[in-house]
Structure 1
Amino acid sequence: MKRLPFVLLVLLLAGSFFAFKSSVARNTAPPEKYEQIMELVGQLLSQAHFSPQNIDDKFSEKVFDKFMSDLDPEKNIFLKTDYDSLKALYGNQIDDEMKGAPVKSFLAVSSVFDQRNSEAQKWTQSILSKPFDYTIDESIQLDGDQLQYPASQQEREDRWRKKLKYLSLERYVDLLDERKSNKNQKGYVVKTDGQLEKEARLKTDTVLSRLFERYKVKFTTDDKFNMFMNAITNTMDPHTDFMPPLDKRYFDEEMSGTFYGIGALLQQADGKIKIASCNVGSPAAKSGQLEPGDIIAKVAQGDGPAEDLMGYTIQDAVKLIRGKEGTIVKLTIKKPNGTMKVVALKREKIVNDFDTYARSAIIRDSVKNTKIGIVYLPEFYAAFDDANGRRSSIDVAKEVQKLKEAKVDGIIIDLRNNGGGSLFDVVQMVGLFVGKGPVVQVKDRINRANVLDVKDESVLYDGPLAVMVNEFSASASEIFAAAIQDYGRGVIIGSTSTYGKGTVQRNIGLDAKTGITYGESDLGTVKLTLQKFYRVSGGSTQLKGVESDIVLPSPLDESKLKERDNKDALPYDEINKAAYTPWKSYWNLNEIKTLSEERLKSDSSFRVIKENTQWLARENDKSYPLNIDAYRQERKEIKQKADQIIAVSKLKNKLNISLLPNDPNTSHIDDKNKEERVKQWQKALSEDIYLNQAVDVVDDMAHIDKLAKNGNMQH
């Protein structure tokens, strides 16, 4: 296949269709599917990626290590000799395979993987046939990054023994606790410790048997190849992905919202099923108990037995989680800080009206006699295929106008958990508050920096303004927050920084006949990073994100969930500033920060959140005890710290939240489900300790503004 002509890259960036075919006659038969996919992906990465790494031996070795780690995240499958011999033979061959050489590396790794799993299956049956001694003081390290591959079969088998003991200990303690709570219940059969210990091992054996069976039957060569391709694309950067046709259709279905379920997007990482995001207004989001990064360990149908998800694919997990409308599904969740909890959710049809669109409310303070408006925007939505469809910038303008007419003293824009969306709309939305001027700079790989600006000089709202963000405010949310911060137009309040995704992707299909397509693809799809965002002040939002002016401690502060926590993330850099004029305000940021810091000093809630979060992070980095008394004590301490965070995270003196009268978004609702969601949103706002701090900040800004304006009038 010929190299992708450079002129076609320009067409690619402009959104035009392009394709390429081989211009060199092959003396051999047409390439097999794996070879064709790898060569097409290699060309895309090297010739169209925003910041391509050289596809050479060094790149090849990084991909090899990533693929080995993805297959064996806990380093208990491959031996050190396996790693060394495979790397010596194939570690520097992957780049050649991406340039047309026969694909051998992943096949060789897969073969050894299958062999080692077969050995582990035999050990598992033998180990689980005998009782464990939980009085021995020993521990297990489950973080593969802190381990080396085992040097011998004996060391590897001992890692499996400890893993099986740990899994059985979890189940044994659960069974003991269940017996304690139910022993006085009529009809409950009280079993001995020995019987429960054996039952725990049998449960573990069932889970592991399913895992090994899936490896043999369902984890096909194609599945391993898809994982291998993602090791390649993710080594280029974390947001460049390979999706086989089936996965692409699956993700499209997830986005459609036409099924009954809990409304959580799942991802498979490190051999576990994790929550990637929660659809706004879905059962998952409304529960307030699920967050990105949570691991789904088990799934139960109502009060039925829980299915362990170890070894499950995403598709298989989804089959358990989805079901009939109104039925209950119970998820056993492991939080990023190591705590476990069971969350019961009622399945609903996922809707996208109230839950997606902007809406507003007013927070009234009878003591200060102020009214602060809040505009909640879950995403920067736009109906790209419908000229008459709703757009986030237009809807936000309407909400701001309503709040102006209600004569609020200030406005808060809530972008927490807003993962981004339409670039056009975020530019227009910044214009509502700053008027004419540049908003963001977008650069492609040939170093062209295009400035996206607002043409309209009019400003819809010029009063006190704050923007609330958190760790999951990403992409377009970061553009908005950065522009407001750079102009000095408002105060950014929230986590230490936003997520840090400053890159732009586009889906490009791999076609067996034409090479590249924007339509249906028979070989798969590459989500390719093509551009990068930069602030008007010149710095990128990539990696660094937007740092809050006023930092409020968050339970996720210590969790490694941001862009900067991925070693393959693109770097932060800077370009020239755009020409812009900062906003002139009466209030001074340093004064506002000082007032906020004084309040936080006396706020025990945020102190508890910060201290407990740091403690949980330290605990989560340690190895896990296999002594039952130590295990129980550790679990008790972790639960206490987590419960304290939950307890202080809701306001005791609730905020006075009022909805705007005659608002079609929140009043006169015929849909009972929608009405209930409105009430839940209103209740959540009233108990929100973070919103409470933001209201105080905007109150300060409004007070200073009022004093300054009165002083000017006297002159």
Structure 2
Amino acid sequence: MRRPLSLFLSAVALMMTATALAAPHPVPLSELFPNSGHARSAIIINKVLERYHYRKVKLDNAFARQVLAKYLAALDPNRAFFLARDVERFENGARRLEENLRRGELDAAFDIFRVYRMRVDERVAGALKLLDGQFDFGRAESYAFPPSSASSPSTARWAQDSAELDELWRKRVKNDFLTLRLAGKADPEIRERLQKRYEGLARRIHQFNGDDVFQTFMNAYTETLEPHTSYMSPSTSENFDISMKLSLEGIGAVLRGDNEYTVVQSTVPGGPARESGQIHAGDQIVGVAQGLDGALEDVVGWRLEDVVDKIRGPKGSVVRLQLLSKSSGSTAQTREVSLVRNEIKLEDQAAKTFVVDPLANAPGLKIGVIEIPAFYRDFAAEGAGNQDFRSTTRDVRKLVEQLVAQGVDGILIDLRANGGGSLAEATSLAGLFIDTGPVVQVKDNFGKVEVETDTDPGVAYNGPLAVLVDRDSASASEIFAAAIQDYGRGLIIGEPTFGKGTVQTLIDLNRYVPGEHNDLGRLRLTMAEFFRISGGSTQLRGVEPDIRFPGADYLTNHGERSLDNALPWTQIKPADYKRVGQVSVDRLAQQSAERIAQDVGFRMLTERSKLMRDAEAQTQVSLRETERREEDKRRERAFKELQNRFLQARGITPVDEDADQIDEDALDAQRKAIARIEVDEAARILADRILMERERQPRAVMKD
């Protein structure tokens, strides 16, 4: 029910109170060699993976070559430092890597890192020299983007010689310079900022100690097996423990590293980032500042944990983020968002409800909407014996009772951007809408299958039901939606879901070496997989909606499908269950498509999805300033025209978010109107189904 460890730790770190950390110092090259603790940890990790991982690992020569490629990609994802001859030497030196790993011999990994650090120094020195020169932004040339992430290491070639790397870096520095120019920065400020960026890159690499190198290499090893398995060094484990004991304070965002950028993976319900409405999945964080007037620090090229350390902080303090939107591509201007760090309370994540009425396609019908941001359960209150502890199921039951009392004709469950949570809550929530029966199957690494079952007889609501999902509905959300779909209990509407169908556990490596005085760290291990009661997994494919919204047609590199080495979709024997309904969607889908084709709001959402797809697919960009500015203006103009047309059609005056003074109430109304586009159409689809069912009911026969 969890995200990859790197994402999870980032989310925890961002939500937690900052702790005082000593400034790291440069580590001499003479200290970058493996120690006995690293060797013991490597041997134990091998044995644990071979025995307990869900995907059976075979540590052979072919697998070892993949580990080496993943390690090189982790260090140099843009292929901007190593030369082809370096890689050839590494490959020759790692011919017996599988044997070395079994014995805990890690000299090759540390040798590669020492060379990497020297290559970084060489390239940073060259980049700083380029900053002293002038750039011709009228020249017709382009900059080819490196692979989008370290998960695709085979999509580019290594430079053959230093001259080829020199040319790559000339264009890279020129592109960095032009990007800041387009953001409105003056040339002297740009030179100063880029100098700090490049010097900071070298400085952070010099701060890697032996544990950092070992963790980087072991994670290349585990991620070659499967993306949700990862190793935590002793220091990382200690920070994890500290974080788990602290109250949830911060901005509430899950981050991931993508090449040199820190990218927003998702925002946490109830957190300042989500509540602001200004931070979205896919946004790139390029700068961080403290307080209302603190200096902005460029964080491009920073390690993920260093960016997290800058963003997290105590409740009530202000952090400013400089962001690039995913949908606007490489030519976009940055925007700045100020957030007040705050405690993320359970109440802020609680389910909420409202009624959609009137419905243009079904006058007289009312559809109740229940928004569920997360599958939560107050385990602390429950453990203390509080019989009235908060949970998703308990809150939704009360909301259902309220909606029924208001006389709604159907209920829509909104699970968009719900990243999951408690498995027990997903099971019990399904039980509000179905009678007793299986909800999800869990298969462990030994092949044993257990069935999570709703044992509470009866239902809280047996009327017309629909569930709205999107690309960020994950884990527990997918389990609930899949159960509703498999039982035929309701319609699933929206986009294919995230596709996270695996289960992880945290293993302390010290338990395998009794009496060991050195902390060996911990391993986060994938040890089970979720399966629908119909037999198919939620892994990789997620849940396919009965009726898809058009934005789904532009959904490409997202969710589990975007992760390298993700477990494949598979299936097992169906559980023993009986469908309670049959959902016919052809007519409903046609009616919805006809409405959407005329809906200016959906045209705006579809165009935004296209922009995001095009931004992801972009492989190169012009280095001619006039062309870049025109492209920037074209994209921004196209999106704003669509958005303003939609808002005006709803009787809302568009807010200029770039203005010095912004009416926050008007801006909030604008965001809510956009968020309601898909909800309103999902409600209309459910209303169509209610009317269809009424048409099919036999009319009463009048008697004399």
Q: Report the TM-score when normalising by structure 2.
A: 0.84
The Cα of 1:534 is off from its aligned counterpart by 0.9
CA contact (8 A) 1:40 1:515 kept: no
Matches of 1:572 and 1:648, distance apart in 2: 42
> 1:592 Cα deviation (Å)?
2.1
Other-structure match for 2:659? none
The answer to whether the Cα contact below 8 Å between 1:39 and 1:97 also exists between their aligned partners in 2 is no
Map 1:7-406 onto structure 2 (within 5 A): 32-90=36-94, 92-144=95-147, 146-175=155-184, 196-216=186-206, 218-251=207-240, 258=247, 261-301=250-290, 302-323=292-313, 325-337=315-327, 338=329, 339-365=332-358, 368-385=363-380, 386-387=382-383, 388=386, 389-406=389-406
Range that drifts further, 440-449 or 484-493: 440-449
Cα distance, 1:381 vs. partner? 1.6
Moved more, 264-273 or 453-462: 264-273
SS at match of 2:635: helix
Q: Which residue of 2 aligns with 1:24?
A: none
> Does the Cα contact within 8 Å between 1:508 and 1:516 map onto a contact in 2?
no
Pairs within 5 Å for 1:486-565: 486-495=486-495, 497-511=496-510, 514=513, 522-554=519-551, 557-558=554-555, 560-565=557-562
Aligned length: 640
| Aligned amino acid, residue 492 of structure 1 | I
Aligned to 1:701: 689
> 2:3 maps to what in 1?
none
The AA in structure 2 aligned to 1:35 is: A
Residues 1:615 and 1:706: Cα distance change in structure 2 (over 3 Å): same
What residue in structure 2 maps to residue 425 of structure 1? 425
Distance 1:502 1:133 in 2: 51
Structure 2 match to 1:580: 577
Q: SS state of the match for residue 160, structure 2? A: coil
Cα displacement (A) at 1:202: 3.1
Unaligned 5+ residue runs, structure 2?
Answer: 1-33, 653-663
Look up the SS of the partner of 1:355 in the other structure: helix
CA contact (8 A) 2:604 2:639 kept: no
The answer to whether the 8 A contact 1:75-1:149 is kept is yes
**What are the superposed Cα offsets for residues 154-192 of structure 1, whole Å, 9 maximum, x if unpaired?**
0011111111111111223334xx6xxxxxxxxxxxxxx
CA distance in 2, matches of 1:513, 1:115: 37
Of residues 568, 580, 591, the one that matches 2:587 is 591
1:618 corresponds to 2:614:
yes
Distance in 2, matches of 1:110 and 1:294, equals 30
Q: In structure 1, what is the equivalent of residue 677 of structure 2?
A: 689
Gaps of 5+ in 1: 1-29, 179-195, 656-675
Deviation at 1:685, TM superposition (A): 6.7
Q: Is the 8 A contact 1:283 1:345 kept in 2?
A: no
**1:96 counterpart SS class:** helix
* Residues 448-482 of structure 1, C-alpha deviations (whole Å, 9 max, x = no match): 22222223331221111111111111111111111
Q: Distance in 2 between matches of 1:476 and 1:525?
A: 25
1:125, distance to aligned residue in structure 2 (A): 2.4
Tell me if the contact between 2:535 and 2:571 (Cα under 8 Å) persists in the aligned partners: yes
Q: 1:50–1:259: structure 2 CA closer, same or farther, 3 Å change rule?
A: closer
Q: What is the CA-CA distance between 1:142 and the residue it aligns to?
A: 2.2
1:239-290 deviation per Cα after TM superposition (whole angstroms, max 9, x unaligned): 1122223334445565667365322233334233222332212110012232
Helix, strand or coil at the partner of 1:511: helix
Query: Residue 288 of structure 2: SS of its match in structure 1?
Result: strand
In the aligned structure 1, how far is the partner of 2:176 from the partner of 2:671?
39
Measured in 1, the distance between the counterparts of 2:349 and 2:515 equals: 33
What amino acid does structure 2 have at the position aligned with 1:276? Q
- Could you tell which deviates more after superposition, 137-146 or 401-410? 137-146
* Superposition deviation, residue 579 in structure 1: 2.3
Partner Cα separation in structure 2 for residue 610 and residue 547 of structure 1: 19
- Cα shift at 1:599: 1.3
Q: State the secondary structure of the residue aligned to 1:523.
A: coil
Q: 1:253 to 1:393 in 2, by over 3 A?
A: farther
Distance 2:515 2:271 in 1: 36
What letter corresponds to residue 373 of structure 1 in structure 2?
G
Please give the per-residue CA displacement for 1:63-83, whole angstroms capped at 9, x wherever unaligned.
Answer: 111111111111111001111
From the superposition, tell whether residues 55 and 335 of structure 1 become closer, same or farther in structure 2 (CA, over 3 Å): farther
The one-letter amino acid of 2:88's match is D
Map Cα deviations across residues 314-359 of structure 1 (whole Å, 9 max, x no partner). 4432343245655543322223332454142331322223212222
Task: Give, in whole Å, the separation in 2 of the partners of 1:248 and 1:101.
Answer: 21
- The one-letter code matched in structure 1 to 2:600 is S
CA distance in 1, matches of 2:674, 2:192: 47
| Pair 1:546–1:714, CA change in 2 (3 A) | farther
Secondary structure in 2 aligned to 1:452? strand
Paired with 2:513 and 2:298, the residues of 1 have a C-alpha distance of: 43
CA distance in 1, matches of 2:429, 2:648: 31
Instruction: Report 1 or 2 for greater relative contact order, CA contacts < 8 Å, sequence distance ≥ 6.
Output: 2
Say which is worse superposed, 606-615 or 357-366, in terms of deviation: 606-615
Query: Contact 1:258 / 1:349 at 8 angstroms: preserved in 2?
Result: no
Kept after mapping to 1: 8 A contact 2:38/2:520: no
Deviations along 1:373-408, whole A, 9 cap, x unmatched? 111212212234534332322222222222222221
* CA distance in 1: counterparts of 2:531 and 2:427, whole angstroms: 13
Separation of aligned partners in 2, 1:265 and 1:111: 31
> 545, 564, 568: which one pairs with 1:567?
564
The range that moved more, 598-607 or 540-549, is 598-607
What is the letter of the counterpart of residue 510 of structure 2? D
CA distance in 2, matches of 1:486, 1:515: 47
SS at match of 1:266: strand
Aligned to 1:412: 412
Aligned equivalent of 1:188: none
Tell me if structure 2 keeps the 8 A contact 1:555–1:609.
no
State the Cα deviation string for residues 35-55 of structure 1 (Å, max 9, x = none): 111112111211101112312
Deviations 1:677-702 (A, max 9, x none): 9x969972785101111111121122
Contact 1:70/1:271 (8 A) holds in 2: no
Superposed CA RMSD in Å reads 3.0
Q: Tell me the distance in 2 between the aligned counterparts of 1:650 and 1:539.
A: 42
Q: 1:553 and 1:290, CA in 2 relative to 1: closer, same or farther beyond 3 A?
A: farther
**One-letter identity of the residue aligned with 1:688:** R
Letter in 2 for 1:383: D
Report the 3-state secondary structure (helix = DSSP H, G, I; strand = E; otherwise coil) of the residue aligned with 2:378. Answer: coil
Whether contact under 8 Å (1:295, 1:335) holds in the other structure is yes
- Residue 591 of structure 1: how far off its partner (Å): 2.5
1:604 aligned partner, one-letter code: V
